Structure formats: structure tokens, C-alpha cells
């Protein structure tokens, strides 16, 4: 009977403490452990544990309100990755797009890449008396890549010279029609003289390029129209079906004959005329004979 009274007193005191805890939630009234003895055995009270759990719910700030849990989807790893992926892809593509190719690095204002056969022909004709250097290269050519920085330096040192770049991979058919089969390959053009020279050189033989540049750099005045590509090269480009290029051959001028040959031709072409009758020539003896005959007749 004493043990039952003790248990009821503990439970009543526990309810009193929980009511105090509602007014002062900072004070913890839940005991760490309660145990009751019955005879020689002692065991924890399940009722006290349930009361302790119930008191912990009563001590919360919600006071029976409905709990609403919100999940921040942006904080989830999958959501974050899905939002970051477009930005990362756009940044990568922008960075890749800004990366220059080796033949685009160091380009000077007087350097330009040819876009077609017609562009090459028009550029040479519009250059006038200016020296034009055509640079044939390939992206996969190691010699072209090694020589490119020096060509850019020479272009910077000679702003009056026009450099035209022809990508062999993009214009393979045009290069074939122009008989370009070795890379890197260079051609020099100027005014009415047309093609001045052509050669192939590498980084080790750059002296060949420098010598040709020094020889043809001085300004010259052409006495005729700009020539550009040769006639047979223009015909080869026009005959190439893979190129959208048309060319009308120029009419060949008539050969000019020397003056004495023209006279001979005129004489041969003149109509036939009868020979002129010339007056007969008489000697003094014939005249004396005529006089004698005339007097004897009288």
C-alpha cells in the first residue's frame, strides 16, 4: 500500500512540474529516469516515460498547431545541378568559341584569309601596283604553324604589302587547279607584271622569303593593267566544276606586221593593170636617114 502511495505522489508531482514547465519552458522538468521497486526487483515505469514524451510535446512552441514542412528544391543536389548545367554549358561554349586557331593568332590589318576562287582573283586585280603575297597553308601542317609567327612579324613590319591566306583544307580543289602541291607555299604578285616568283620555305629556310621580300618590296609603277593570275590558271579555275567561278577568255589581238611587210601585202593585194607604153628612143643616125629619104622624095 505504501508503494502505491509513493507512485501516485510521484505522478502528481510530475504533473505539477509539467504545468510549471508550460509557463517556463526553459526549465526542464523531465527526470532522466524513474524506477519503482517491488520487493527486491526494480523496474522503470512505462507510464512515466509516456508522460515524459507527452510533456515534451506540450513544451513545444506549436501548441497543437499543424506542422508544415517545406522542402527547398533549389538546395537539393539534383535541382542545383539542373539549374547550373545551362550556365556551365553556356560558359564552356563561350570559352571554346573565343579560343583562336593558330593561323588566326597575330593577324595584322594587312592580312586576310581568302574565301573563294573569285575572292582571290578579285583581290589580285584590285591590288593595283601593291605587292601581294599569297600564303598557302594547312591547319595540320607543322611547318606552316611554326612559320606563321614570323610571317605575322614581317607583315607588321611591311604594312604596305597585302598578305592573302589560302587554307588548303577549305580550298583543296582551287589549290589543285593552281598547281599548289607543297606546303607552306608562297606566291608574289604585283600589278601588270603578274606573278613575280613562287617558292616553298619553312622556318629553317626563312631567308628565302626575306630575300624575295627585299627584292620585290621597292615600289614600282606598272605601265599596263593589273594582271593577277595567268590566263591558263584562270581557265583551269573556270574548268573546275567544284568551283563556282566563271571566266571569259580575252580576245587575242591581231599580230602587228612590220612596215615593209605591209607594203608587200598591199602590192600583192592590188588589182592587175596593163603596163604603160613608154616613148621609143631614136638615135642620131636614124634621124639623118629619115631626113635623106624625105629630100629624095621631093
**pLDDT tens digits along 220-237:** 777 788 999 999 999 999
Range 55-79 average pLDDT: 54
Judged against a pLDDT cut of 70, whether residue 84 lies above it is answered with no
Range 64-85 average pLDDT: 54
144 catalytically annotated:
yes
The grid coordinates of residue 213 equal 621580300
Q: pLDDT at position 195, please?
A: 95
Range 32-42 average pLDDT: 49
Those residues whose C-beta lies under 8 Å from the C-beta of residue 55, and which sit 6 or more positions away, are 18, 21, 29, 30
Cβ proximity of 212 and 161 under 8 Å = no
**Distance, CA of 113 to CA of 164 (rounded, Å):** 6
Pick the catalytic residue from 141, 152, 201, 221: 141
Q: pLDDT at position 212, please?
A: 96
141 catalytically annotated:
yes
Pick the catalytic residue from 144, 152, 197, 201: 144
pTM of the complete model: 0.55
Angle between helices 46-58 and 2-23 (to 10 degrees): 10
Residue that wins the pLDDT comparison between 286 and 156: 156
**Distance, CA of 246 to CA of 240 (rounded, Å):** 10
Residue that wins the pLDDT comparison between 72 and 155: 155
The grid coordinates of residue 110 equal 594587312
The total number of residues written for the chain in this structure: 298
Alpha-carbon distance values, 123 to 130, 171, 229, 278 (Å): 11, 16, 11, 71
Q: pLDDT at position 249, please?
A: 87
Q: pLDDT at position 78, please?
A: 54
Amino acid at each position: 500500500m505504501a508503494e502505491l502511495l509513493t507512485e501516485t505522489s510521484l505522478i502528481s508531482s510530475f504533473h505539477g512540474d509539467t504545468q510549471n514547465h508550460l509557463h517556463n519552458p526553459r526549465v526542464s522538468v523531465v527526470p532522466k529516469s524513474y524506477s519503482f521497486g517491488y520487493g527486491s526487483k526494480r523496474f522503470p515505469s512505462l507510464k512515466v516515460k509516456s508522460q515524459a514524451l507527452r510533456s515534451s510535446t506540450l513544451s513545444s512552441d506549436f501548441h497543437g498547431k499543424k506542422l508544415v514542412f517545406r522542402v527547398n528544391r533549389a538546395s537539393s543536389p539534383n535541382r542545383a545541378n539542373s539549374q547550373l548545367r545551362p550556365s556551365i554549358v553556356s560558359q564552356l561554349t563561350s570559352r571554346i568559341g573565343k579560343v583562336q586557331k593558330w593561323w588566326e593568332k597575330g593577324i595584322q590589318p594587312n592580312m586576310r584569309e581568302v574565301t573563294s576562287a573569285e575572292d582571290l582573283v578579285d583581290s589580285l586585280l584590285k591590288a593595283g601596283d601593291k605587292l601581294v603575297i599569297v600564303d598557302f597553308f594547312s591547319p595540320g601542317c607543322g611547318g606552316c604553324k611554326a612559320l606563321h609567327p614570323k610571317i605575322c612579324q614581317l607583315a607588321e613590319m611591311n604594312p604596305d604589302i597585302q598578305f592573302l591566306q589560302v587554307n588548303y583544307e577549305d580550298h583543296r580543289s582551287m589549290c589543285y587547279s593552281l598547281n599548289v602541291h607543297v606546303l607552306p607555299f608562297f606566291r608574289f604578285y604585283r600589278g601588270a607584271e603578274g606573278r613575280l616568283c613562287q617558292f616553298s620555305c619553312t622556318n629553317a629556310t626563312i631567308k628565302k622569303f626575306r630575300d624575295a621580300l627585299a627584292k620585290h618590296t621597292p615600289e614600282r609603277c606598272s605601265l599596263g593593267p593589273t594582271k593577277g593570275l595567268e590566263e591558263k590558271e584562270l581557265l583551269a579555275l573556270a574548268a573546275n566544276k567544284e568551283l563556282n567561278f566563271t571566266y571569259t577568255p580575252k580576245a587575242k589581238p591581231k599580230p602587228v606586221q612590220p612596215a615593209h611587210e605591209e607594203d608587200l601585202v598591199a602590192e600583192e593585194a592590188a588589182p592587175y593593170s596593163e603596163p604603160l607604153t613608154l616613148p621609143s628612143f631614136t638615135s642620131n643616125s636614124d634621124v639623118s636617114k629619115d631626113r635623106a629619104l624625105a629630100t629624095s622624095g621631093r
